[in-house]
Structure 1
Amino acid sequence: MLTERQLLILHAIVDDYVRTAEPVGSRSISKRDDIPFSPATIRNDMSDLEELGFLEKPHSSAGRAPSQQGYRYYVDHLLSPHRLTGAERAGISSLASARLQAMEEVIQESARILSEMTSYVSIVLGPEWLEAKLRNIQIVPMNDHKAIVIIVSETGHVENHLVHIDEAVTLSDLERTVNLLNERLVGTPLVHLQGRISAELVKLFKQHVANYKQVLKALNDSFNVTKADKVFYSGKTNLMIQPEFQDMNKIRSLFNMLEEESLMHQWLRSQNNGLHVSIGAENEIEAFESCSLVTATYAIDGRHVGTLGVIGPTRMEYRRMIKVVDSLSKDLSKLLTDLYQND
């Protein structure tokens, strides 16, 4: 159990180190108005905090820096709520004022806003495409040989597929196909569409659609859903201005990891629902051992469908990042729910 004095000193060291990126000494701490202790007293407590694992002493420095354990304790026990500034509120509300209509555009814009507000890398995992269920299918003829198949999920995600239509297929064939698909498949997980059509609907198509073989052949690729959820980034180069990432090998390793979309997708999906802060080695990815990640899940109509967050150094302004990420996730949830309900 840390003493009240040790708590004050730990809090002050984290605050100063986050601000300056320089190891913090006892003399500089003693000059703070909120620390009424002598440098000698502070120095003794700093030594104790180091022995307890909350601080570490960088090489060739008399000062101390927070350890991963120190940051963890700071985030879990010492943070006070951050009140958004007017500029921060305006930045977050700009997502809704952009009046975007496509889900992917909204998610891309949220990533841009988040990186711009935080000066870190923003990362947004799109809604769970494969796990989503069918809401609606439309087939829009373009000319005698082409049509667009529009698949809409219950989460509001839209997939468009251009298909080639045999000249024997009529508008009546397409209308009956759409009616049968929506009548029988609404609520089916997208990943199971093709299987259900093959197993259950072929007989119905044979009865009601004159040129059903040509129609099914044209639609086959549209229902072969193998696409993974998308990961959107913004502000990758922001990390390069941070002192911790001046080592080119470190930044190269981090950038390479960000390009591994399937691994990033899996990692983000493993994050807990709600707000989550992972620090340093807690991320369980070697390239991120010098990073912290603040994430929050967002929802559509009350159902958690994706994750957004920021990646930055462990020397992160946690208090502000937590509030910004949490607030933007709530605005994104409201905006996507409105789009879904009004679709």
Structure 2
Amino acid sequence: MPTKRQALILAEIVRIYNETGQPVGSKTLMGQLPFHISSATIRNEMAALEDDGLIMKNHTSSGRIPSTAGYRYYLDHLLQPTAVSPQVFDKIAANFDHDYHEIDEIVKQSATILSNLTNYTTISLGPESANVTLTGFRVIPLGNDQIIAILATSAGTVESRVYRLLHLISSDDLEKAVRIINDQLVGLPLAVVKQKLASEIPQLLTKYLHSSTGFIDLFGDVLKRAASQHFYVGGRSNLLSFAQPTDLDQLKSVYQLLDKESILPSLLDLDQVAASKKPQDPQQVLGPISVRLGDEFNNSLLSDYGLITAKYHVGQHGDGVIAILGPTSMPYSQLIGLLQLFSDELVKKLVEYYGYFHDDS
């Protein structure tokens, strides 16, 4: 456990290294610390921090850089979020000031806005709720044996997809099938809709239709898409700005990782962080925002990365996530201050949309 003076020196090393990308020496610290001590004393304190594993030597310099453990101590005990300037606040408000027709449009836009503001890669996930229900299902013929299936939910999600039927079901039977779906399933939670689709609905379709071949698969596919979690990744190309030329293979693998929606839930699940890596009180400094570093991911591809994640709450509509992925040496105080404000503004936009949506429903 560092002393108060050692902690202040560690915080200054983190700040300088994050701003400059250069190892920090005792002479540099002498001119930056808010108190006066000799260069020899600073070196002694730095040696103690190194013995504790909080800073480490850089191979190309006599200076020191923060270790992963040093960053963790800084984040858990020393960090103070930086206030967002009025100019940045106005920019966020202006970028959100659009007419949105679906919740996913807002969630996707949030990832784009945040990546542009930070120049890092961002990940967003909209609010999820066990109470989301099916509000309607339509099928529109397009010609050439093609149709477009459209499914809407109470969360404001609209999922559409084009299918080719190849005469497997007549237009009359198709209309009957759509009517059965709406009569039997509208107003039910999506989880219940899935259950009935696997049990009762096939029997109903068989009873009233000449043939339901292909329809169950069609409806099940569009339902699965509507019920799935929709992750949006903004600023993938920003990964290039801090990658080393020798890390191109690793960078390619990280790109592929961000394209796998099956991986993203575990990446964003803060409960997966090893207990030994968690602060005694995770809310002590960061509030609803958490940070994962390096080996805390249990994924060697992300050993040099940090992930700042904010979980936000949208009342009865559920919880969502907005996150920033970048190098371990990100300017955490600025980014966490920004993310606190940004998630608040995102919630306001979502609440505004839900209010309008339900007023019109």
The interval holding the TM-score normalised by the smaller chain is 0.7 to 0.9
Q: Work out which of the residue numbers 245, 262, 266 in structure 2 matches 1:247.
A: 245
Contact 1:139 1:178 in 2 (8 A): no
Aligned amino acid, residue 171 of structure 2: E
Contact 1:194 1:220 in 2 (8 A): no
Contact 2:134 2:188 in 1 (8 A): yes
Aligned amino acid, residue 116 of structure 1: N
Q: Work out which of the residue numbers 176, 181, 185 in structure 1 matches 2:184.
A: 181
Q: Provide closer, same or farther for how the CA distance between residues 87 and 50 of structure 1 changes in structure 2, counting only shifts above 3 A.
A: same
Q: Provide closer, same or farther for how the CA distance between residues 213 and 17 of structure 1 changes in structure 2, counting only shifts above 3 A.
A: farther
SS at match of 2:116: helix
Q: Provide closer, same or farther for how the CA distance between residues 66 and 177 of structure 1 changes in structure 2, counting only shifts above 3 A.
A: same
Query: What corresponds to 2:265 in structure 1?
Result: 266
Query: What corresponds to 2:354 in structure 1?
Result: 340
Q: Provide closer, same or farther for how the CA distance between residues 314 and 170 of structure 1 changes in structure 2, counting only shifts above 3 A.
A: closer
Structure 2 CA distance for aligned equivalents of residues 44 and 118 of structure 1: 36
Contact 2:312 2:321 in 1 (8 A): yes
Q: Provide closer, same or farther for how the CA distance between residues 240 and 169 of structure 1 changes in structure 2, counting only shifts above 3 A.
A: closer
Query: What corresponds to 1:279 in structure 2?
Result: 293
Q: Provide closer, same or farther for how the CA distance between residues 49 and 203 of structure 1 changes in structure 2, counting only shifts above 3 A.
A: closer
How many residue pairs align between the two structures? 332
How far 1:128 sits from its partner (Å)? Answer: 5.4
Structure 2 CA distance for aligned equivalents of residues 305 and 216 of structure 1: 38
Contact 1:25 1:63 in 2 (8 A): yes
Structure 2 CA distance for aligned equivalents of residues 300 and 78 of structure 1: 30
SS at match of 2:94: helix
After TM superposition, the score normalised by the length of structure 2 is 0.80
Query: What corresponds to 1:137 in structure 2?
Result: 136
Structure 2 CA distance for aligned equivalents of residues 61 and 302 of structure 1: 54
Contact 1:92 1:327 in 2 (8 A): no
1:1-343 pair list within 5 angstroms: 1-32=1-32, 34-126=34-126, 133-139=132-138, 141-142=140-141, 148-162=148-162, 166-169=170-173, 173=176, 176-182=179-185, 186-189=188-191, 193-202=193-202, 212-214=209-211, 217-218=214-215, 220-224=217-221, 225-227=223-225, 228-242=228-242, 245-248=243-246, 250-260=247-257, 261-272=260-271, 274-343=288-357
What's the CA shift string for 1:268-295, capped at 9, x where partnerless?
3523494220012112111111110101
SS at match of 1:232: strand
After TM superposition, the score normalised by the length of structure 1 is 0.84
Aligned amino acid, residue 183 of structure 2: L
Contact 1:125 1:268 in 2 (8 A): no
Unmatched segments (≥5 aa) in structure 1: none
SS at match of 1:266: helix
Q: Provide closer, same or farther for how the CA distance between residues 216 and 342 of structure 1 changes in structure 2, counting only shifts above 3 A.
A: farther
What's the CA shift string for 1:78-111, capped at 9, x where partnerless?
1113211123212322343022222332222111
Unmatched segments (≥5 aa) in structure 2: 273-287
Q: Provide closer, same or farther for how the CA distance between residues 339 and 281 of structure 1 changes in structure 2, counting only shifts above 3 A.
A: same
Structure 1 CA distance for aligned equivalents of residues 142 and 47 of structure 2: 78
How far 1:140 sits from its partner (Å)? Answer: 5.0
How far 1:305 sits from its partner (Å)? Answer: 4.3
